[in-house]
Every structure is written in structure tokens, then in C-alpha cells.
Structure 1
């Protein structure tokens, strides 16, 4: 199992300033999943805890000299702490940008196994490395043991299921009013039912043994299949 690539300037900028800060808000731990053509950041696809999130990138948008090989059809997946990943990237960038010793080949990212201090068992790491003429800078990010063939297949099936678009979607209402309702309902219960209709109606409902409360947002823009006579615009 091997993976290594160089981050492009665009990839560095996307990861440092946009992708990692945004994904960290979705959850601290995610699956990082590499295939021949794509890199995925996946939240909660193998469990029902929290919001499911799929961030997919063509490998050319983040990397160059991209090399991956495994006995699982060149697919590699593992769990990683996004805050540690972001911290390691910022740390090595601070040194890389300030030093003139480093050549223009860029920052390399790769999977390695190393023996941590006070340990007798090698552990997997995702490593950033910047090489210069006289020195090199390395930042290691601990990761989980790479997923087995069966677990990668389960993750792939969950990914395909998560990417299936419903036949009908509605455009979200004005976000302030939606957030205000959700914030008020936090004090009533932990689980909220959400449903939409082909007429463009969004229904939110929360129930307990004592009370049932709900809200309805009507005549929203309908995307996809819609009821006869419904036009795709707010009225």
C-alpha cells in the first residue's frame, strides 16, 4: 500500500484556507479516502451519528505527480483528525515559505509507517515533507490503521448511496428564519422530522410525549420532480 503526491499551489491554498477550516466545523474526525482519480473527505458515512458530509475533489485540483497503489483496486482510506491535519499543514507552510533553502518541487504528502517515541510498534502517519538543498522539514499526522478491503468496500457503497440525489428537492427558505426556528426547538427535543412535498412545501416537526410543534415553509422553488401545475419559482 503506497500513496504519495505533491500539493499544487492551488491545493495548498484550498486546503489551508477553505477546505480544512470548513470541514473541521462538520466534525473533528473524518475518513480521508483516496482513489486513482479522487480524494474524498467523508463525515459519518459509516454511522448515523451527526450530519453526513461528502467533499469530493479531482486529484488534479489538489495534487501533481499523484501516485497510489494498493491491493484494493488502488483505494486507500483511513480516519484522521482534521484539526491535527490543518495544524501540521500550517506549521510546515510557515517554515517552507520563509526559507530560501527549499526547492520549487513543492510540498510532498505521503503515507508512512514510523516508530513513535516510547513504542515498540510502528504506527501509520500521513506526512508532509519539504526538501531543501541542505535540509528537510517533516510534519507527521497520526492516522488510524488503513481500512481493510471489506471496510473500504462498505465505505464505497455508503459513498455511492450518499451521492444519490433525491427525485425532488426544494430550495431552502431564508436561513435566518429557519435557524431561529431550529434554535428555539433545541429546548423541546433532540430529534426533528423533516419532509418536503412536490408542491414546494418544507415541513419541520418535533414531538415529545407532552407536545408536538412544527413549522411549514410553503411554495419554495422545486428542483427535480414536481406536482402538476407547480412552477419552479417562489410565488
Structure 2
């Protein structure tokens, strides 16, 4: 089992300034899954508890001279501490202007131990010196565990039939900060008309917000003219009865954590509800700098478990 590569300048900057701060807020540890074509950071795909996140990068975007080999179709996966990875990467970035950063899997003897342990090592070589930083990792996953991880990844790639483009994530963050002072459970409804409804209910009060006429991807429908003068809850209930909307309940804590994805600075975000209300899906889109063209070298999305299938 071998892996080594040199980090690209764009790859280091993207991970250091955007993705690793975001991923650390979602969960302290994650799986790093390396294949012949991609490097993928995965949260909670195997235990199914909490916010699932998948950040996938084309290998050529993050690395050059990428070399990987294993008995499992050249796939390697392990658990890593995101904060420790970020610290090593940030340190490498500070001296990379005149250096090359190589990353590789190694086994070393920890201090005071007689058993070798696996590490993800960063080697920064300058003209007159070299700096080596070792990030401890878990024992690499077995063939059966990698297959299980791949199956979980495949099953998490499905898209909801209807996605709506959400407003500015900072605006949404402010709304959630207000709503979480009211209750712990958030009801989310999405219609095929481009409406997004968020509300929290207690025995004494219901507080929420509605975003209308958002951009829709996938299955779209025109709102019935007669609905315009109805209240938001009534319109939503009628859309659900017509099969043109879905509603789920999610943990406010999970939603607040998923909103930390804005630290990755996506160019736009879409929300959708999976069939039968299986989960709330958030998809973050990144553009090639200076354009409105999607950067296909990066994909990032989250899935929130539902507390109730709603309506």
C-alpha cells in the first residue's frame, strides 16, 4: 500500500483557507478516501449519525506526480483528524513559496513504542533545509471496509428531484441563529414552485421565514394562481397534497453545523429533499474563478438526517 504526491499551490490554498476550516466545523475526524482519480473527505458515511458531508476533488486539482497503489484496486482510506491535517497544511503553506510540499503515507515508530504506526507525512524541501511533519492516521481500512465506504458513497450521490437555490448563506445563517433560540427542531418545506419554508414551532409560538420564487433545478411546476393570497402554511400544505412539495423535520443543531459549509466559500447553494423525505440535501457549487462556469474538479454536498418524515 503506497501513496505519495506533490501538492499544487491551488490545492494547498483551497484546502487551507476554505475547505479544511469548513470540514473541521462539521466534525473533528473524517475519512480521507484516495482513489486513482479523486481525493475525497467523508463525514459520517459509515455510522449514519449526524451530518453527512462529501467533499470530492479531482486528483489533478490537488496534486501532481500522484502515485497510489494498493491491493484494493488502488484505493486507500483511513480516518484522520481534520484539525491536525489543517495545522500541518497551513505550516507547509507558510514556507511553500520557495519549496515543494510532498505528501505520502509512511509507517514510523512513535516515541516510546515498539509498534510502527501509520502517518500522513508532509515533507517541505527548500534549497538548504527540509521540514517534515507527521499527521497520525488510523490503520488503513480493510478491503471489506473500503467496499462498504464505496457503497455508502455511491448511495449518497443521488439527487433530490427538485432543488432550489437558497439565498445568501450568511443571510440564512442569521435566520437560523434567531430560530435556534426558539426551538431545537426545524421544519423545512420545499416546493416545485421554487419556495423554501423554514419554521420552528413550540406550544406557544411558531416562528419562521419563507423564500419565494427561487431558482429551481430538476422537477418544476407553476404555482396555481389562486394560491397567491393564501398564507404560507396553507400554500405549503396544499402543495404537499398535490404532490408538488415535500416537508421534513431536522435537528436545528445539524442545520447550524451544515451551514458552516459557507466557510468553503461556495458560489451558490441548492437545497432539496430526497424521495419519501429520506434526508435534507445541500449541494454547494463552485465556479472556475472569473467565470460562471461550474468547476467540475470540485464537488461538495451535505445530507442531514430527518427526525420525522414530515408530510
TM-score (norm 1): 0.82
TM-aligned CA deviation for residue 229 of structure 1: 6.5
Partner of 1:37: 37
| 1:23-47 Cα distance to aligned partner (Å, 9 max, x none) | 3233322211100000111222223
Q: Indicate conservation of the 8 Å contact 1:29/1:82, yes or no.
A: yes
Partner of 1:59: 59
TM-aligned CA deviation for residue 134 of structure 1: 6.1
Q: Indicate conservation of the 8 Å contact 2:179/2:208, yes or no.
A: no
Partner of 1:9: 9
Partner of 1:139: 133
Q: Indicate conservation of the 8 Å contact 1:196/1:202, yes or no.
A: yes
TM-aligned CA deviation for residue 203 of structure 1: 2.6
TM-aligned CA deviation for residue 122 of structure 1: 1.4
Aligned runs of 1:12-161 on 2, under 5 Å? 12-95=12-95, 97=97, 106-131=100-125, 135-161=129-155
Q: Indicate conservation of the 8 Å contact 1:172/1:220, yes or no.
A: yes
- Aligned equivalents of 1:36 and 1:218: distance in 2? 43
TM-aligned CA deviation for residue 189 of structure 1: 3.0
Structure 2 unaligned segments of length 5 or more: list them: 225-311
What SS is found at the alignment partner of 1:39? strand
Partner of 2:264: none
Partner of 2:173: 179
Q: Indicate conservation of the 8 Å contact 1:113/1:123, yes or no.
A: yes
TM-score (norm 2): 0.64
What SS is found at the alignment partner of 2:65? strand
Structure 1 unaligned segments of length 5 or more: list them: 231-235
Q: Indicate conservation of the 8 Å contact 1:169/1:223, yes or no.
A: yes
Indicate how the Cα distance of structure 1 residues 193 and 121 shifts in structure 2: closer, same or farther if over 3 A, else same: farther
- Aligned equivalents of 2:70 and 2:219: distance in 1? 41
State the aligned residue count: 224
TM-aligned CA deviation for residue 170 of structure 1: 1.0
- Residue from 177, 198, 211 that aligns with 2:192: 198
Q: Indicate conservation of the 8 Å contact 2:46/2:149, yes or no.
A: yes
- Residue from 161, 167, 170 that aligns with 2:164: 170
Residues 61-70 or 43-52, more deviating: 43-52
Aligned runs of 1:211-222 on 2, under 5 Å? 213-222=207-216
Partner of 1:233: none
| 1:181-207 Cα distance to aligned partner (Å, 9 max, x none) | 422331333232322121222232445
TM-aligned CA deviation for residue 97 of structure 1: 4.3
What SS is found at the alignment partner of 2:185? coil
Q: Indicate conservation of the 8 Å contact 2:33/2:41, yes or no.
A: yes
Indicate how the Cα distance of structure 1 residues 68 and 91 shifts in structure 2: closer, same or farther if over 3 A, else same: same
Q: Indicate conservation of the 8 Å contact 1:92/1:138, yes or no.
A: no
Indicate how the Cα distance of structure 1 residues 221 and 74 shifts in structure 2: closer, same or farther if over 3 A, else same: same
| 1:92-112 Cα distance to aligned partner (Å, 9 max, x none) | 3445547xxx6xxx2211011
